[in-house]
Chains A and B, each alone.
Chain A
Amino acid sequence: MTTTDIQNEIIDNFSLFDGDMESTLFYLMDLGKKLPTMPDAHKTEDYIVKGCQSKVWVFPTFTDGKVYFEADSNTEITKGLVFLLWSIWNGQTPDEILNSELFFIDKIGMSRMIGSQRSNGFASMIKQMKLYALAYKTKGA
């Protein structure tokens, strides 16, 4: 699936809650559980995303021209947010990651859902994952 297809699916799923905050949060926490387990050995200071209130780790690898992420957080709601990015970008090429516009964020009303502090943290995650993609693109070029 393209990053656009995946985002459209996310928007569809969130629309089911019709803006109800509580069920949205429960849903996010359940999504977080779908993240593949990240080995503790990779949860080091080097892979912490700076700028998040919660702890978030993102560990990238690059195989056959595609970027793969391991990710985790110490809080469940944030883990759900990490899962959304992971589901869009895991296994995509650096170009796809760098060029994809994350239109789902506005469509699902993310800022209303998580507030401005967490929105900043979420922006840090996006920036960090794009930086990894850029690094692989530069290395691969």
Chain B
Amino acid sequence: MLKNNISHIRAQFPILHQEVNGKPLVYFDNAATTQKPKQVIDALQRYYELDNANIHRAAHTLASRSTDYFEATRKTIQQFINAKEEAECIFTKGVTEGINLVAQTWGRANLKAGDEVLITTMEHHSNIVPWQMICEEKGATLKVIPINDAGELLMDEFDQLLSTQTKIVACVWVSNALGTINPVEEMIQKAHAVGAKVLLDGAQACSHMPVDVQALDCDFLTISSHKLYGPTGVGVLYGKRELLDAMPPYHGGGEMIKEVTFEKTTYNEIPYKFEAGTPNIGDVIAFKYALDYVNELGKENIAAHENQLLKHFVDGISQINQTNNNAITLVGTAKNKVSVQSFTIHNMHHFDVGMMLDAKGIAVRTGHHCTQPLMQRFKLEGTIRASFALYNTTQEVDSLLQALSSIVKFSNR
């Protein structure tokens, strides 16, 4: 169990060992980005000190080494998500680029007037705007699955909205603002029954739960490295081979071609067809070490630890509320959720709470979390969001609870 091992784990994250505003740093903004273990930082440094060379094509040793390491990450991510083959894993800048890629290539080739794209109320802007753009261009319609007050999808409404006009369901697997785990297995099954494809935004999910794209049978999955203890600027788009093969390229340039003449260009095979230009080699290489690290700890162990922190936090909030007239409102109380908890404090603006917590060295997220339509659903301008990761401790959660307790008392003055 992680709990028994926590000081060893924390020792591998150099950034955690510092003071902020004179207090030990408590980092609870993990849903925005996770911190990086020493293995990842060392890999980045090693790459630039020993291996830096442009990948693929060149005949020299450094190029061959960096190519091998780059492709080793692809192999690792293939296993991490249980894709059928490495070629189904395309490196991107991140989840946003992955979704834009699908919308601009698959969407452009497959959507037409009268078609429908189905998303949920709890989407991040990055899974709304790309679809709005392509729907507008093609005359297709964007439809939205509503949620209940706990932040769970209304599956009856999903059934109603789903039809043969639905061409793709683009759905967040785990909500970044609420922590809700959506019933994606059921959604994928139902979507396929009407002939629709399914894209899962896995930005949040992949750090908290096991991923098996073959068992899920999703058509596309987007992954973020930096939310998975890896470097920023790297993501992966998984797609089924038959879809990726049929999709037109996204960006034109080097790497993605088979042959270029001024008259005609033929395109490379997947994954290279979608990887135009020199990629973010060093960060991709270092990403492997993050995946290895998570594998080594075990997703089940990580989830068990994080869930225990979440429970401790939610119980602590109930206690504060008992003596403070329910001053804190939890936003996102789904039965099935990960260690992300949004909340608001009566009479206090979330910006002020964020700054007061920062003064105590506690980092949380405040604002709309790039989910403005979701905030509108809850009639909120924003929330305070604490998100717990594998290196957080019960003592840190206690620090947050103590800080919130004194803020609540201050707000009642």
Contacts and interface: CB of A to CB of B under 8 A. Distances in A.
Interface of A: 20-22, 24-26, 29, 53-54, 74-78, 114
Given A21-B21, A21-B22, A26-B410, A77 B351 contact: yes
Contacts of B358: 21
B352 A76 contact: yes
25 contacts: A20-B22, A21-B21, A21-B22, A21-B358, A21-B359, A22-B356, A22-B359, A22-B360, A24-B359, A25-B352, A25-B356, A26-B410, A29-B352, A54-B349, A54-B351, A74-B349, A75-B349, A75-B351, A75-B352, A76-B348, A76-B349, A76-B352, A77-B352, A78-B351, A114-B355
Interface residues on B, range: 10 to 19
A75 B352 CA distance: 6
Contacts of B348: 76
Interface of B: 21-22, 348-349, 351-352, 355-356, 358-360, 410
Contacts of A25: 352, 355-356, 359
Interface of B is mostly: helix
A29 B22 CA distance: 21
Nearest to A19: B22
Contacts of B352: 25, 29, 75-77
Contacts of B21: 21-22
Contacts of B351: 53-54, 75, 77-78
A75 B22 CA distance: 25
Given A24-B359, A53-B351, 18 more contacts: A21-B21, A21-B358, A21-B359, A22-B21, A22-B359, A22-B360, A25-B359, A29-B352, A54-B351, A75-B349, A75-B352, A76-B349, A76-B352, A77-B351, A77-B352, A77-B355, A78-B351, A114-B355
A19 to B, nearest CB: 8
A108 B88 CA distance: 56
A54 B352 CA distance: 10
A76 B349 CA distance: 7
Nearest to A22: B359
A127 to B, nearest CB: 21
A53 B360 CA distance: 22
A26 B352 CA distance: 10
Nearest to A24: B359
A42 to B, nearest CB: 20
Contacts of B355: 25, 77, 114
A41 B329 CA distance: 30
Nearest to A77: B352
B247 to A, nearest CB: 39
Contacts of A53: 351
A50 B352 CA distance: 19
B350 to A, nearest CB: 8
Chain B CB within 10 Å — which of A76, A77, A114 has the most?
A76
The 6 closest A-B pairs by CB, nearest first: A21-B359, A75-B349, A22-B359, A21-B21, A75-B351, A76-B352
Contacts of B22: 20-21
B21 to A, nearest CB: 5
Contacts of A114: 355
Nearest to A32: B352
B310 to A, nearest CB: 26
Contacts of B356: 22, 25
A21 B362 CA distance: 12
Nearest to A20: B22
A120 to B, nearest CB: 14
A108 to B, nearest CB: 15
A29 B355 CA distance: 11
Nearest to B406: A22
A107 to B, nearest CB: 19
A23 B179 CA distance: 33
A31 to B, nearest CB: 13
Chain B CB within 10 Å — which of A22, A24, A25, A74 has the most?
A22
A29 B351 CA distance: 12
B271 to A, nearest CB: 38
Contacts of A21: 21-22, 358-359
B156 to A, nearest CB: 37
A9 to B, nearest CB: 24
Contacts of A78: 351
